[in-house]
Structure 1
Amino acid sequence: MALIGTEVKPFAAKAFHNGDFIDVTEENFKGKWSVVCFYPADFTFVCPTELGDLQDQYATLKDLGVEVYSVSTDTHFTHKAWHDHSETINKIEYIMIGDPSQKISRNFEVLNEEDGLAERGTFIIDPDGVIQTVEINAGGIGRDASSLVNKIKAAQYVRKNPGEVCPAKWEEGSETLTPGLDLVGKI
């Protein structure tokens, strides 16, 4: 898992977004912050709870200049059908990418080759298209989208303030650290 600090690899895919089918490539991840949320499959159990929770944070993420993309190995047609039949998924406003070729899942190293499904992976990508955070959960462990907000804020802070780092439990407005000899052994 050596993806931190690497640029998103090229891909082209179809997605479902706000009632339409759209084309998405790695170029969509450039020029703004992005969250890419992989999940195993549509019409399952933990996945709609996660995607619904992500929708609950979507307005906050948009206010931070972040676009959200969910990805599974289902097709964009399946995303539309799920959107049309699930109260939870029907509320989703972010882009739902289909990855039936499994190329995107392989590019992000989240493809479970045995079952052909994506693992629960969350990636924060900076405006240059470079991966800044990676989080992978086991299939039975749902994610909490509210934790993304602070991670995004920390990533944005560090980008704007080279030489400073955000310590554990950092929240916007709290102290950061400037690594140097004067801190060695004092934290």
Structure 2
Amino acid sequence: MSLINSDLKPFKTEAFKDGKFVTVTDADVKGGWAVFFFYPADFTFVCPTELEDLADNYDAFQKLGVEIYSVSTDTHFSHKAWHDTSPAIGKIKYTMLGDPTGTITRNFDVMIEEAGLADRGTFVVDPEGKIQIVEVTAGGIGRDATELLRKVKAAQYVAAHPGEVCPAKWQEGEETLAPSLDLVGKI
């Protein structure tokens, strides 16, 4: 069953943000755009490259009103220790959710049960709490924050312009499509 257009499921967890431990719930997420960025584990190899890439692009996401939530099955304590010891992770200003029970990871259907770790899953949630983008990649394949940013812009454009869709490689400011009978077979 696809998670597209499904509702964000309830959760409550501890997180590390801005040098503090904070509690985050699904209710805190609703009302704005959000990216849930799942990764296997702290203190690993591909994960810090991805999280640093997100950190380097965080201001661009914030300008679009998007909050980033990185998620692993580690605790918020582990997130702090990693943040304090890794130059790449030390750049992070977004919220790092701890999910030691796996509740959030299972909510998004990215739990690797036999390992107790998350797959590399990226989910964009709209202000109503509905999932608009789902991407899951194999453990050895890192993701690109600029491509995610492009997809978020497309999702926001489509949400703000009913009846229009964004074609492949669409960039902000380019033409969109308005599906209709007259357009069938013309592309």
Q: TM-score if structure 2 supplies the norm length?
A: 0.98
Query: Following TM superposition, by how much is the alpha carbon of 1:75 offset from its aligned partner in structure 2, in angstroms?
Result: 0.3
Counterpart in the other structure of 1:25: 25
Kindly provide the amino acid, as one letter, of the partner of residue 91 in structure 1: K
The answer to whether the aligner puts 1:186 opposite 2:182 as a matched pair is no
Counterpart in the other structure of 2:9: 9
Query: Following TM superposition, by how much is the alpha carbon of 1:91 offset from its aligned partner in structure 2, in angstroms?
Result: 1.0
Counterpart in the other structure of 2:49: 49
What is the alpha-carbon distance in structure 1 between the residues aligned to residue 30 and residue 131 of structure 2? 11
Counterpart in the other structure of 1:60: 60
After the TM superposition, list the runs of 4 or more consecutive aligned residues in structure 1 that deviate by more than 6 angstroms: none
- How do 1:102-113 and structure 2 match up within 5 A? 102-113=102-113
What is the alpha-carbon distance in structure 2 between the residues aligned to residue 153 and residue 28 of structure 1? 22
Query: Following TM superposition, by how much is the alpha carbon of 1:152 offset from its aligned partner in structure 2, in angstroms?
Result: 1.0
Q: Give per-residue Cα distances to partners, 1:36-64, cap 9 Å, x unaligned.
A: 10000000000000000000110000001
Counterpart in the other structure of 1:86: 86
Counterpart in the other structure of 1:136: 136
> Equivalent residue of 1:69, what SS?
strand
**Runs (5+) with no aligned partner, structure 1:** none
> Equivalent residue of 1:87, what SS?
coil
Q: Give per-residue Cα distances to partners, 1:66-98, cap 9 Å, x unaligned.
A: 000000000000000101111111110000000
What is the alpha-carbon distance in structure 2 between the residues aligned to residue 124 and residue 103 of structure 1? 18
What is the alpha-carbon distance in structure 1 between the residues aligned to residue 66 and residue 156 of structure 2? 10
Counterpart in the other structure of 2:150: 150
What is the alpha-carbon distance in structure 1 between the residues aligned to residue 182 and residue 61 of structure 2? 36
What is the alpha-carbon distance in structure 2 between the residues aligned to residue 83 and residue 175 of structure 1? 41
Report the RMSD for the aligned CA atoms in angstroms: 0.7
Query: Following TM superposition, by how much is the alpha carbon of 1:185 offset from its aligned partner in structure 2, in angstroms?
Result: 1.1
**Runs (5+) with no aligned partner, structure 2:** none
State the percentage of identical aligned residues.
65
Kindly provide the amino acid, as one letter, of the partner of residue 129 in structure 1: G
Query: Following TM superposition, by how much is the alpha carbon of 1:21 offset from its aligned partner in structure 2, in angstroms?
Result: 0.4
What is the alpha-carbon distance in structure 2 between the residues aligned to residue 10 and residue 144 of structure 1? 28
Query: Following TM superposition, by how much is the alpha carbon of 1:28 offset from its aligned partner in structure 2, in angstroms?
Result: 1.9
Query: Following TM superposition, by how much is the alpha carbon of 1:149 offset from its aligned partner in structure 2, in angstroms?
Result: 1.3
